[in-house]
Structure 1
């Protein structure tokens, strides 16, 4: 039975996962007097990518700001918010290359580390359900600034202690902030793009929001790995650097122009519903498989690289995560002209090849093979998730698009956490290579089922 939680009348939904949150632009204002319906027709991209697929007219008369000509201020704010988005998403993967250091200092098991990682997904889901959509009526800045404050609080907690309860709390708070930021920053970028370039193609918005969202996830892990490798206090310096950047980001948002006029709306959480048939099931399976790849590489691959592949370098650990997410972001940006079926086929194929190479690299203890597999799997996961977002955006009625995307993101974040937790638990009883072999086998069966489910029906 669908969970009956819904924002008021979200006709179009911008999404993205860290996902960008469902319902991100149920009523996206574009800075013009809303005297005529506006239509946006572009498909979402990343785990958080930008998923605008609003094919139905969306009128924003009650939330639109006064008419204004294109301004340099909105153009500058577009890039300031893009940088803020990148920094916020980068912060969320800072702990990834540091997890082996926590293991060495506190004696954590692989399972414990994956619990810490999964706490982030819990925070994101809660945030998306309860507040990912409210910037449509309270304003972008009113949500984005407190959300960045949550990220800053999380960083301070990481700096205060390496005890397990503190780490879990810090990751939950991190997830709460990301759920707000992904949805709100995506919508804010869309607004600023429309202000700065009225009537222009949304291509710039799509590429920049994807690069900031998914690219930021990879960038944070790489920066943290390099800092942990070459500076003192590896469990402190990365958080200090990102905390300073978060403070600068808060100032940048405060100086940016608002794009939504605050108005009173009865609060309702985001509604989730999966009642959209076989096509929705296929999209959900695709999102689950894509986020399973992202989750494994973010949570447990640094430990695999250090242990099974005998490469303890923190830089290499961060590089692995960067390559996976970087490949996803790049693939999403360059596949805009492909059909939905072509996206799904190429995504499935790349994921299958990539995960097989990852396992082969572990058996051969070959880092080049392992990282090549990670890159290919990341490309496949990025394309697969883009296909899932596009499919749901097309099949859902305009009035139900927000809830349909909310359901998709809920499934995706289960993919982010459940496989990682399962792998972490399994490593308590089996060696990591065997565990990854089982993971690859299960993922390949899921991909095969998805291929059969999504295959074009012949009459």
Structure 2
């Protein structure tokens, strides 16, 4: 009888799921609170403008992390950066768990912003190294799928536990802490080839240094703008869709809000997996085009007070996010030199995170002096104008990367 030998899994096969888990955990933590905002509003009595500011302070943490720590994992190793950043994410969960006032919510959002800013750049660069230059598309698809899986699962988990489980402002964060512990344990067991091979200086450099080589800056414009508008759409859903569902659609069940945002992330994750063979530039252009009907459907849903239109908008928005995020991120990965990959991807994520927050603040401010519908229309016009501008710029530089 012939003996069949089973080859043990390679280090890469073990490492990729572990690295992907830190990206998923980071973005899950950034949105698990989305359906719970109305409960915090009821508990602490803050206004809509305060809600948008609580959400948007997250970007301050993102940008601070990327400016100060954008290249730190290039120098000291990926694992040495990832594990403390997962600890920061756990600290954010504890702040929400024991929140006694709105100030605790600001602190929690700032802390999770720092964690996501560090983990997004580190995790994306780590995955690119694991797949190697010949499999950049798979690296990008894996990173984007991990991101959007977290974005999908977080609101669904928060909404279901917040609506149907006891202790709605406690249990979601306890579950998240358990998930973080699992991700940290997985990362702790895998090798860090960058650290072991002696790449980088080994010094802890904490200083603002992110950027793009001058000869590649022109090609960086389109993916940066694509990231901005794609994450702006995400910010609308993560910050304000629960309010739209409650105020305009008159649905008090917070699980419905979680379901709408889950649909956005789930459709995006599925589309990224199915569209892996699309050329990066083609995916990016498709995402920009799909953003136009996506924001129009949100406006129509709010005006007509229609859950069906909102769900349709979430589906189209998921397609737009999948194509736009995956395509623009892969273009950036192709643009980035190997020794500056975290530096370049960090600048890309700065654009994404600013888009995720600044337009949301604008909606909150405008809704105080005009109607909420007017604010949403203005947001849709901004996203549409930037998308068209990016498409026109792309025609001048049709093959970035």
Q: Give yes or no for TM over 0.5.
A: yes
Contact 2:229 2:383 in 1 (8 A): yes
Contact 1:188 1:259 in 2 (8 A): no
In structure 2, the residue matched to 1:257 is 191
1:235 aligns with 2:235: no
In structure 1, the residue matched to 2:32 is 94
Contact 1:294 1:378 in 2 (8 A): no
In structure 1, the residue matched to 2:210 is 271
Displacement of 1:256 after TM fit?
A: 2.7
Displacement of 1:396 after TM fit?
A: 6.2
In structure 2, the residue matched to 1:24 is none
1:110 aligns with 2:48: yes
Displacement of 1:373 after TM fit?
A: 0.9
Query: Residue 98 and residue 76 in structure 1: after superposition, are their counterparts in 2 closer, same or farther (change >3 A)?
Result: same
Query: Residue 272 and residue 278 in structure 1: after superposition, are their counterparts in 2 closer, same or farther (change >3 A)?
Result: closer
- 1:217-228 correspondence runs (5 A): 217-228=151-162
In structure 1, the residue matched to 2:117 is 179
Give the unaligned 5+ runs of structure 1. 1-68
Q: How many residues align?
A: 386
Which range moves more in the overlay, 119-128 or 185-194?
185-194
In structure 2, the residue matched to 1:378 is 318
- What secondary structure, in the 3-state scheme, does the structure 1 residue paired with 2:368 have? coil
Contact 1:351 1:378 in 2 (8 A): no
In structure 2, the residue matched to 1:127 is 65
Query: Residue 277 and residue 230 in structure 1: after superposition, are their counterparts in 2 closer, same or farther (change >3 A)?
Result: same
Summarize deviations over 1:159-193 as a string: whole Å, max 9, x none.
11141111111111111111222223334445556
Match of 1:168 among 106, 114, 137: 106
Query: Residue 78 and residue 285 in structure 1: after superposition, are their counterparts in 2 closer, same or farther (change >3 A)?
Result: closer
Mapped partners of 1:360, 1:119: distance in 2: 29
Q: Cα RMSD (Å) of the superposition?
A: 2.8
Displacement of 1:386 after TM fit?
A: 3.0
Which range moves more in the overlay, 254-263 or 293-302?
254-263
- What secondary structure, in the 3-state scheme, does the structure 1 residue paired with 2:369 have? coil
In structure 2, the residue matched to 1:209 is 143
1:79 aligns with 2:79: no
- 1:358-397 correspondence runs (5 A): 358-394=298-334
- What secondary structure, in the 3-state scheme, does the structure 2 residue paired with 1:260 have? helix
Query: Residue 424 and residue 277 in structure 1: after superposition, are their counterparts in 2 closer, same or farther (change >3 A)?
Result: same
Mapped partners of 1:143, 1:340: distance in 2: 29
TM-score calculated relative to the size of structure 1: 0.76
Which range moves more in the overlay, 72-81 or 304-313?
72-81
- What secondary structure, in the 3-state scheme, does the structure 2 residue paired with 1:232 have? coil
Match of 2:261 among 303, 321, 326: 321
Displacement of 1:73 after TM fit?
A: 5.7
- What secondary structure, in the 3-state scheme, does the structure 2 residue paired with 1:218 have? helix
TM-score calculated relative to the size of structure 2: 0.86
In structure 1, the residue matched to 2:4 is none
Displacement of 1:156 after TM fit?
A: 0.9
1:448 aligns with 2:388: yes
1:136 aligns with 2:74: yes
1:294 aligns with 2:228: no
In structure 2, the residue matched to 1:331 is 271
In structure 2, the residue matched to 1:61 is none
Displacement of 1:391 after TM fit?
A: 4.0
Summarize deviations over 1:246-267 as a string: whole Å, max 9, x none.
2233233223333333554452
Displacement of 1:131 after TM fit?
A: 1.8
Mapped partners of 2:78, 2:338: distance in 1: 22
Displacement of 1:323 after TM fit?
A: 1.7
- What secondary structure, in the 3-state scheme, does the structure 2 residue paired with 1:428 have? helix
Mapped partners of 2:26, 2:279: distance in 1: 32
Contact 1:74 1:257 in 2 (8 A): no
Mapped partners of 1:286, 1:207: distance in 2: 16
Summarize deviations over 1:198-235 as a string: whole Å, max 9, x none.
x9856654443322222111211111111111101111
Contact 1:85 1:213 in 2 (8 A): yes
1:352 aligns with 2:286: no
Displacement of 1:420 after TM fit?
A: 0.5
Contact 1:89 1:178 in 2 (8 A): yes
Mapped partners of 1:179, 1:385: distance in 2: 16
Mapped partners of 1:96, 1:192: distance in 2: 32
Mapped partners of 2:280, 2:183: distance in 1: 36
Which range moves more in the overlay, 266-275 or 319-328?
266-275
